[in-house]
Chains A and B, each alone.
Chain A
Amino acid sequence: MPFTPTPARPAPISQMGVIGWLRKNLFSNIPNTLLSLVALYVVWQVLSSVISWAFINADWVGSSRADCTSDGACWVFVSVRLNQFIYGFYPAEARWRPNLAFALLVGFLIWLAVPRIPYKKLGGILALTAFPVAAYFLLYGGAFGLPVVPTSRWGGLLLTIVLAVIGIVLAMPIGIALALGRRSNMPAVRLVCTIFIEFWRGVPLITILFMASVMLPLFFAEGVSIDRLIRALIGITLFQSAYMAEVVRGGLQALGKGQYEAADALGLSYWQKMNLIILPQALKIMIPGIVNTTISLWKDTSLVVIIGLLEVLGQVRQALADPNWLGFPAEGYIFAALTFWVFCFSMSRFSQYLERRLDTGHKN
């Protein structure tokens, strides 16, 4: 009879799974147990009141202030205003246009991000050429029988996305150019780029927006006025590209000198060296930094409130001033915070996915 080892018995229930974890981490000895119980009590106290305010005692359906009868949150305020929080004053009958533009944006992102979908190069070219044109005519109108929607009617989440996406997309190439310029061997180029970066990085965004909105119009001739949104966009792009340039420079400097020398030894020209050897590696290293500045810009867009552009937060504040709905600041601000969080968290997850996908084993 051959030897058959008896299968190993499972570990005692007190050592594994949830119970094991709890025993090991929370209730291993008397002081630990006491601390755990106190902490649980505090968490329960806070959470129970938050949950009962936000969910159990909350009012969800209705159309006016009178429908908010309980002590809890009045989400009716948010649901009644939801369209304004998303579209601002964009005419209701034309809201399919920003919807379509957003769907296109998401479509292109999926095309470019999901590895299984082919024709990446075509997708990239279309995303950078056809999409901006299509989005412009969809949002602003003025061609193909679409009536013009002036930018003063844009607002809410739509405006946040427009500001952030355009700011980021334009800042990226400008930032790369500035970073390369700052590391250039040509003194004049280096000087100009350094001055540009240090100037824009040295002033707060709020000041830039302020100048763009309050001072800039005074320097134009009477009757010549640049759209407020465009003024804000120019300010945001210049500001963001200075930050982006420094992130890119960090990535360029993180590469070993050997990479540059090897590229030179192969006889590659400057642009070949950058495009084929340096930037592909450097950009990969920079992903966390780029996403970091992107997320920070996304949140900074709410500063345009000070120049009277009403993005999500501006719309919420505007809604809070409605005499029929006075006194629901908590609900409004929580909605705004959640909106920002959803977008910023998705960006963060996306960047981690990118890092994993592009990982070629240089991590230690």
Chain B
Amino acid sequence: MKKLATVAASIAAALTFSAAAQAATLDDVQSRDTLRCGVSDGLPGFSVTDSDGNWVGLDVDTCKAVAAAVLGDADKVEFVSLTAVERFTALQSGEVDMLSRNTTWTTTRDASLGINFTGTNYYDGQGFLINTDLGVTSATELDGAAVCVASGTTTELNLADYFEAQGMSFEPVLYDTSDQTVAGFEAGRCDVLTSDTSQLAALRIQLSDPEGAMILPEIISKEPLGPAVRQGDDQWFNIVKWALFLQVNAEEYGVSSSNVDDMLESDDPNVSRIVGTSGDLGSLLGLPSDWGYQIISQVGNYAEMFERNVGPDTPLELERGTNALWTDGGIMYAPPVR
């Protein structure tokens, strides 16, 4: 399956290479007055629909921020739900303008698929969920453990790499879907369940006794998840990139959706560049001068986006951790808006 996708993608890359260069996505989006954004077909905290049928999630908000910047209205997004295999084709063929689908940024994808990653909206990594009865507090104590894992994923490969590097042995218990993996863990088929930590939190809620399970502190892989655009349209690449950077900068300078109207009068030059009252940054990007104001007032800064979708007050209860600002001990760092 993966091979097929790669072949398909390379063909796509070859085909789109000539055509994509002159395609101006910004013009298309403006004339259509809607942003077409590819999202996951159901991933807790990242892109799901609420009971009123609205898309919500961190990836969804990333799309909305771009729509707010380009069209001045965060609701002018047409969400296209994409499966993992068809996501790159949909982007290459122009079916969607941008992809914000929980996609790990890797060399192969960046270099061979005809797409460009614009940044990271969530630093994820693979972790372990264990039964608290086990009394284990660190992944280094897992020698000989039976591990529930979804088969055929990079998760499975990372797991083997980690145990080999640690000189430990393990017994894999393979499942096809995450539902089955949870059921296997619950039924005691394995001691440990492994997946991306953001998803472990969602899996943990599904257990009949969530308090009886905990996530170990070790993270054994790097999974920077972020939006991507087609290669060859640098203007659009810049816009999607800076929509996210602006949200991170806004958090750094304390600009949020609740105070952004007051910030319009701020004397801090950093803040006034963010909300667009000084400088001419919008026109450099091909956007209206209030692009930053629109993003912050309609979608919020990065912290708001995080708290709303995956933060401690949501059922997922994820801590900022690695995703905290660089000033707060995390690695979320964006180039300055100036």
Across-interface contacts of A325 in B (CB, < 8 A): 51
Q: Does B86 contact A (CB under 8 A)?
A: yes
Q: Which residues of B contact A310 (CB under 8 A)?
A: 41, 81
Which residue from chain B places its CB closest to the CB of A223 in the assembled complex? B94
- What's the minimum C-beta distance from B19 to chain A, rounded to whole angstroms? 4
Q: Select the stretch in A51-59, A114-122, A316-324 that faces chain B.
A: A316-324
- Interface pair B51/A81, CB less than 8 Å apart: yes
Max chain B C-beta neighbours (<10 A), residue from A221, A321, A324: A321
- Complex CA gap A205/B81 in Å reads 20
A225 with B41, Cβ < 8 A, contacts A152-B78, A214-B5, A308-B81 known: no
Residues of B254-282 contacting chain A, CB below 8 A: none
Q: Tell whether A281 is near chain B: CB-to-CB under 8 Å.
A: no
Residue of B with least CB distance to A310: B81
Contacts of B8 in A (CB 8 A): 214-215, 218
- Asked if residues B44 and A326 are in contact (CB atoms below 8 Å), the reply is yes
A320–B42 touching, CB < 8 Å: yes
User: How near does chain B come to A55, taking the closest CB pair, in angstroms?
Assistant: 21
Q: Are A319 and B49 in contact (CB under 8 A)?
A: yes
Is B168 located at the chain interface by the 8 A CB criterion? no
Bound-complex Cα distance A204 to B219 (A): 40
Q: Select from chain A the residue with minimum beta-carbon distance to B203.
A: A326
CB atoms of B94 and A222 under 8 A apart: yes
Measured CB to CB, the closest approach of chain A to B76, in angstroms, equals 12
Could you give, for residues 216-246 of chain A, a 1 whenever the CB lies within 8 Å of some chain B CB and a 0 otherwise? 0111111101001000000000000000000
- Complex Cα spacing A329 to B177, Å: 13
User: Are A217 and B50 neighbours in the complex by a CB distance under 8 Å?
Assistant: no
- On whether the beta carbons of A323 and B79 are closer than 8 Å, the reply is no
**Stretch from B10-18, B286-294, B297-305, B328-336 forming part of the interface with A:** B10-18
In the complex the two chains form, is B49's CB within 8 Å of A89's CB? yes
Given the known inter-chain contacts A213-B86, A310-B81, please indicate yes or no for A223 contacting B23, CB distance below 8 A. yes
- Which chain A residues numbered 325 to 350 have a C-beta less than 8 Å away from chain B? 325-327, 329
Q: Could you tell me which residues of chain B, from 150 to 166, have a CB within 8 Å of some CB in chain A?
A: none
From residue A245, how far is it (CB to closest CB) to chain B in Å? 29
CB neighbours (8 Å) of A152 from chain B are: 78-80
- Judge whether A83 is part of the interface by a CB distance below 8 angstroms: yes
Rounded to whole angstroms, the CA-CA distance of A222 and B230 in the bound complex is: 11
Contact of A222 with B20 at beta-carbon distance under 8 Å, contacts A152-B78, A308-B83, A314-B41 already known: yes
- What 0/1 readout, one digit per residue, does chain B (41-59) give for beta carbons within 8 Å of chain A? 1111100111101000000
A100 shortest CB reach to chain B, Å: 20
In B1-50, which residues have CB < 8 Å from any A CB?
4-5, 8, 11-12, 15-16, 19-20, 23, 28, 41-45, 48-50
User: In the complex, which residues of chain A have a beta carbon less than 8 angstroms from the beta carbon of B81?
Assistant: 308, 310, 318
Total contacting residues, chain B, CB less than 8 A: 42
Say yes or no: A218 contacts B79, CB within 8 Å.
Answer: no
B85 sits at the interface (CB 8 A): yes
Residues of A within 8 A of B90 (CB): 217
Interchain CB contact under 8 A, A323 and B315: yes
**Shortest distance between the CB of B183 and any CB in chain A (Å):** 9
Query: Chain A nearest CB: distance from B228 CB in Å?
Result: 17
The count of chain A contact residues (Cβ–Cβ below 8 Å) is: 41
Question: A307 an interface residue at 8 Å Cβ cutoff?
Answer: yes
Q: What is the minimal beta-carbon distance from B32 to any residue of chain A, in angstroms?
A: 11
- Chain A residues contacting B49 (CB-CB under 8 Å) are 84, 89, 318-319, 322
B86 engages A214 (CB within 8 Å): yes
Is there a chain B Cβ closer than 8 Å to A169's Cβ? Answer: no
The reply to whether the CB of A173 lies closer than 8 angstroms to some CB of chain B is no
With a cutoff of 8 Å between Cβ atoms, the chain B residues found around residue A217 in the complex are 89-90, 93, 95
Does B169 sit within 8 A of A, measured CB to CB? no
User: Among residues 185 to 210 in chain B, which have CB atoms less than 8 Å away from a CB atom of chain A?
Assistant: 202, 205-206
Is there a chain A Cβ closer than 8 Å to B92's Cβ? yes
Is the C-beta of A306 less than 8 angstroms from some C-beta in chain B?
Answer: yes
Assess whether B315 is in contact with A324, with CB atoms less than 8 Å apart: yes
**Interface status of A187 (Cβ within 8 A of chain B):** no
Q: Which residue of A lies closest to B14 (CB)?
A: A218
CB of B241 to closest CB in A, whole Å: 22
Which residue of the partner chain A has the closest CB to B38? A308
Q: A306 — which chain B residues lie within 8 A by C-beta?
A: 83, 85
Q: Which residue of A lies closest to B49 (CB)?
A: A318
- In the bound complex, CA of A318 to CA of B82 (Å): 12
Which residues of B have CB within 8 Å of A324? 50-51, 315
Q: At the interface, yes or no: A150 with Cβ under 8 Å from chain B?
A: yes
Asked if A218 and B92 sit within 8 Å, CB to CB, the answer is yes
Q: Does B239 contact A (CB under 8 A)?
A: no
What string of 1s and 0s marks CB contacts (under 8 Å) between A42-56 and chain B? 000000000000000
Check B206–A327 contact: CB distance below 8 A: yes
In the A-B complex, list the 8 residue pairs whose CB atoms are closest, starting with the nearest. A217-B93, A321-B42, A222-B19, A327-B206, A318-B42, A323-B315, A323-B44, A80-B51
**18 additional contacts, CB 8 Å, given A310-B41, A321-B42?**
A80-B51, A84-B51, A152-B80, A215-B89, A220-B93, A222-B19, A223-B23, A308-B80, A308-B82, A310-B81, A318-B49, A320-B42, A321-B43, A321-B202, A323-B205, A326-B202, A326-B315, A329-B179
Pick 9 A–B contacts, CB within 8 A, sort by A: A92-B53, A153-B78, A214-B85, A218-B12, A222-B16, A222-B94, A318-B81, A322-B44, A326-B315
